[in-house]
Amino acid sequence: MTLTEDLTSAIVAFEYDNLSAQVVADTKLHILDGIGVGLNGSLLEPLFDPMMEIVQRWGGEGACSVYRRDFTLPARYAAFINSVVMISCPYQETHRASVGHPYDVVLPTALAISEEHGASGKEVIAAVVAGYEAFVRLATAINPSALDRGIQTTGTMAPLSAAVTYGKLIGLDPDQMRHAINHGVHFGGGSLVEAHGAKPYFGVMVGTNTEKGFFAVELAKAGVVGADTILEGGATCDKGFLQAYSDKYDESLIRDGLGERLGIQDTGFSFHYVASFSRTPIDALLDIVNENGLTPDDVESVTVKLTHVLHNFVNRRIEGATGRQAHYYIPFHMALTLMFGAVDMETLTSEYFERDDIRALMDRVTVTEDLSLDADFERNKAITAVIVEVQTKDGRQFSKRRDNWRGDPEFPATKEDIEQKFRRITKKAIPADVAEQIIELVDGLETLESFGELGKLIQIRA
């Protein structure tokens, strides 16, 4: 069997009744967290206004909701814009082995299809699990090589995971699902340069590639076949997706253990308003500070040692940047952590970036690479592994390694953690009573006849 056939068999078999109580509970937390991220991301308006105008002009009126907007769109355009809004929010989840963000694609697709076609809470839970599984397995198989090439994970996985989510919700048969997957893989692609090159950052590629997943399903429904060897390559071509997108890949990460440990269980939450690779440095620095009672005045220097892949990605000083543009600038994050014990949306701003005391702390931070962290990848699957070293002014030295951040599966977030985070990051976006309605709705998701009920709530503004 081809890799697509193996993946299709597992995807088709995902049904709510086959999922453990723990997987169902985990999935509901990811859905709640994703909605919170979308609502928080919408506060960045008018950043998204040009895209909103385009999709309204192209799509016209439809049945599907957009975060904190009073208009509705056809499903493909609502999923497009909602995915862009979500990936623009630094509070988003991350799968550490691929530095990808599955719910930025899966959740907008599930919500849009539920509003346009109708779907129960149980159907949505199964479809979300399936969308994560396709995303995580393929993303892990090609990384860290793909990232080192400059390929952006979420955009590349978006057509596949959107197609799987959409296909599950409308009940594609196995042949149709196989070809939807084939098309979705074929349509994938995206460049990391967008993350650094666009000022401010627009995750447009994720939106357009999510929309491609809808096209993949429609093609499969219409009987348009894809290449069954799209992943591994074959007689009709020299290279498949795996070879084209990575110098080193692992087919077993797609095929082995399908239906067992699931991708959604290996995707971690975030409690810091930063890019994913800064979460381990922040937590490591907090460990050192809290364990040794250090203050900013005690610190002579901070050295942050990253994997080669991430050092290659962030190794630049951003001169003249605003707080938003310093989203990827680790010295800024370290300075904020020393000063305030956290990085949140109130401090990751232009005002704080230009403060003399913050600048002075930033100048004490050095970011480098440590190849021993890359050598451990096969063991920990952690591209985001980090070593933080602190030198104090009185000569003391401290070192802390973190492979995982708070909210990662090894340091799991509780239901209470995610609900509190949801309230905190949405307080400027929606009224408090609406936040409680959303929490209650998602908590009882398996009892809902229509997941589309959520759409009316995400449209409300504070």
Whole-prediction pTM value? 0.96
pLDDT in the model for residue 261: 75
- In the predicted model, what is the mean pLDDT of residues 282-302? 98
Give 198's pLDDT tier (boundaries 50, 70, 90). Answer: low
| Rounded mean pLDDT, 228-232 | 94
Q: To the nearest whole percent, how much of the chain has pLDDT over 90?
A: 83
pLDDT for position 276: 87
pLDDT of residue 249: 95
Residue 316: what pLDDT? Answer: 57
Instruction: Give the pLDDT band of residue 195 (cuts 50, 70, 90).
Output: low
Q: Is the pLDDT of residue 320 over 60?
A: no
- pLDDT confidence of residue 376: 87
Tell me the pLDDT band of 197, cut-offs 50, 70 and 90.
Answer: low
Predicted pLDDT at 30:
98
- Could you tell me which residue, 135 or 277, shows the higher pLDDT? 135
Mean pLDDT score across all residues of the chain = 93
Paired with 191 in beta bridges are 151
Task: Between 426 and 311, name the one with better pLDDT.
Answer: 426
Asked if residues 274 and 100 have their Cβ atoms less than 8 Å apart, the reply is: no
Q: What is the pLDDT of residue 227?
A: 93
Asked if the model's pLDDT at residue 340 lies above 70, the reply is: yes
Residue with the bigger pLDDT between 440 and 375: it is 440
- Token readout for 360 is 């002075």
Q: How confident is the model at residue 352 (pLDDT cuts 50, 70, 90)?
A: very high
Contact between 83 and 53 (Cβ < 8 Å): no
Q: Minimum mean pLDDT among 48-52, 113-117, 223-227, 234-238: which range? A: 234-238
Residue 281 has pLDDT above 60, yes or no: yes
Task: Indicate the pLDDT class of residue 275, thresholds 50, 70 and 90.
Answer: confident
Residue 317 has pLDDT above 60, yes or no: no
Predicted pLDDT of residue 60: 92
Per-residue pLDDT tens digits for 69-122: 999 999 999 999 999 999 999 999 999 889 999 999 999 999 999 999 999 999
pLDDT at 332 exceeding the cut of 70: yes
Domains and CATH numbers, the chain: 3-271+415-458 (1.10.4100.10), 276-402 (3.30.1330.120)
User: Residue 414: what pLDDT?
Assistant: 97
**33 vs 191, higher pLDDT:** 33
At 312 the pLDDT is 81
